[in-house]
Amino acid sequence: MNAIIKKPFMFSLLILIIVLAGCGGGGGSEEQNSTTPNAPRVPSLVMRSNQISVIWQPVSGATGYEVWYHTANDPNAATLFSGDNNTSDTTCVITGLTNGTIYYIWVKAKNNNGTSGFSPVASGQPSEILAPPSGGEYHVDAARGDDLTGDGSLQNPWKTIKHSLEAMNGGETLIVHAGTYNEKEIKPKNGFENSRTTIKGAEGETMPIIDGGYRLDPSDRWRQYTESHPIFILSASQWVQLSNLDIRSGMKSNVYINNYASNINIEDCKFWGTLKSDCTGFILLEQGWFNVAVRRCYFEGWGPEDDRTEARDINIVGVFAFGGNGSLEVSNCEMNGTAKGIYHKHAGTGQIQEKIINNFIYRNSNIGIEVVNSNTLIKDNIVVGNAIGNRSGIAIYGGTGANDGDRNTIVHNTVYNSKESIFLRAADGDGADDNTIKDNIFYGYDNEHCEYTIWPWTSQWSTHGNISDYNLYWNMNGPKIIRCVSQFYTLEEWQTATQMDANSIQAVPVFVGGNNVLNDYPRVEDFQLTQSSPGYRAASDGLDMGADVSLVGIQNSPASLRGINY
């Protein structure tokens, strides 16, 4: 069953009396500061029954923090929490809250010189945690089921997924049998930590197709669609799992995760054919999501000839995340023909490390992996063929926040046949700092943009705390492999100028696949280095430079995931 909300949401200006446990203070220096600290970035919230945990990122120069709250989105009417004056961390736990009420929370940073303005607002709704149900298992079959007479058993299944989920309790499992389900805007009930609400394809059968029915108008292939009709809507959902499903032809997204949804797993699924608009994602995350994992999924951006999404030069993305309160994992996925493979825009807090690991991204027309986020692990990905415009294999951007694009770890990736293999870009001279870039293969073809491009910091010689080493660089069209602002360098020139990349190599990698790596449908195994190749066993950890091909792509999943059967 769903969590019970015992009291309605109230836009009352009444300030509730609550208990604040463990409000953090500083994390800054005890020295005298000459300037007031900047406002913190938007805090992360973790909802529990009758309480909210607040987590925020340290602010340079701050010696303490203030946490403010209200039941309306008005910081000027908010009340200051009083805590335990702990100055060693940047967290607090607000207890005594009312389940079902939305709380708005802000953080300020302070030091001896003054107090900052309010951080951007975060909001959350604590909810009652009920005892989990028995975890029953039910069946749906589009061909032989009946919503009127069925009971959800294997012998007498239901016909539609929507009806099935309405009849079931949260925390139970729906087995979806082979067939086509012409449905959209499916909303599962919340599950529980030890019993997720699960919708999964039946084992040993052809993967079931869930088709939203939206098709591109062939007479207006570049039309922008403003409506949103996802196949699955996971709004404020908790503890939900989708697996072994073919999810296709939604409008703007196929799975939409928003409104502080948390603990969502999407595994062994395949996606294609979402109608385009700007900021479209096969899986689209917005508004404060937390703990989302996408594993072993296949994304096809082009679709059948009559129904192509025409992904070029527009934000049609495999996994598209806005903001968020932390903990996104995208692992072992294959993304083919999207505009961008994985895009985290407008930054999360960076408080919790995110993972983009072991993915195979190819034939995408824009950027393979783009991160406007901090503290992301980007590891063992193969990104191939970003060949339209000034496009990058991996792009790290400084966004509107001072710490955006910082402290990311980019290691053991193979980026092949891109105009820019890796691109670090600051916004207004800030951000994209303190990243680690090691043990990668960057192989490209463009003279203007180069394999390692840094733009546009104020000083062309400043590394902004970034560390780059043990990489293999090659540009098939010339010796200049690194660009910093408007200057171009060979590896030797770059090493002399910056003291970076001391153990890196400028040479042609030799892959076991030879010319096969240029195929429209390359294979992961083709990107293994030969024993005679530069970079073989030359990484900082004694392994090969570039991605470990044994880890990349869909592993131990149904063979039907590889490629779309139209």
Per-residue pLDDT of 391-401, as tens digits, reads: 678 888 776 55
Longest alpha-carbon distance in the chain: 77
Which 3 state secondary structure label does DSSP give 472? Answer: strand
Question: Which region holds residue 197: left if phi is over 0, alpha if psi is between -120 and 50, else beta?
Answer: beta
Sorted by sequence, the CB contacts under 8 Å of residue 295 that are 6+ apart come out as 265, 266, 267, 268, 329, 330, 331, 332, 333
Tokens, residue 233: 């809507």
Name the more confident of 352 and 300.
300
Q: What is the DSSP string of 377-442?
A: EEES-EEE---SSS-EEEEEE--SSTTTT-S-EEES-EEEEESEEEEEE-BTTB---S-EEES-EE
Per-residue pLDDT of 478-516, as tens digits, reads: 788 887 777 788 899 889 988 889 999 999 999 998 867
pLDDT, mean of residues 441-466: 64
Tokens, residue 430: 């800030």
The whole-angstrom separation of Cα 457 and Cα 439 is 24
- A 10 A CB-CB count for 193 gives 11
pLDDT of residue 309: 42
SS (H, E, C) 103-142: EEEEEEEEECCEECCCCCCEEECCCCCCCCCCCCEEEECC
pLDDT, mean of residues 131-137: 66
Q: What is the pTM of this model?
A: 0.78
pLDDT of 293 over the 50 cut = yes
Greatest mean pLDDT among 251-265, 363-377, 389-403 lies in 251-265
pLDDT of residue 164: 97
Per-residue pLDDT of 312-330, as tens digits, reads: 445 678 999 987 766 899 9
pLDDT of 257 over the 90 cut = yes
Per-residue pLDDT of 393-437, as tens digits, reads: 888 877 655 457 778 899 999 998 877 788 877 655 566 778 899
pLDDT of residue 352: 64
Q: Which residues pair with 411 in a beta bridge?
A: 379, 438
Residue 4's pLDDT band (cuts 50, 70, 90): very low
What Cα–Cα distance (Å) separates residue 320 from each residue in 186, 294, 346, 378, 510? Answer: 20, 11, 11, 16, 33
- A 10 A CB-CB count for 219 gives 6
* One-letter identity of residue 497: A
Name the more confident of 41 and 468.
468
pLDDT of residue 64: 87
pLDDT of residue 32: 56
Greatest mean pLDDT among 138-142, 226-230, 476-480 lies in 138-142
pLDDT of 459 over the 70 cut = no
Q: Cβ(561)–Cβ(272) under 8 Å?
A: no
Residue 301's pLDDT band (cuts 50, 70, 90): confident
pLDDT of residue 430: 62
Sorted by sequence, the CB contacts under 8 Å of residue 338 that are 6+ apart come out as 282, 299, 301, 311, 316, 317, 318, 361, 364, 365
Dihedral of alpha carbons 305, 311, 316, 319, sign: positive
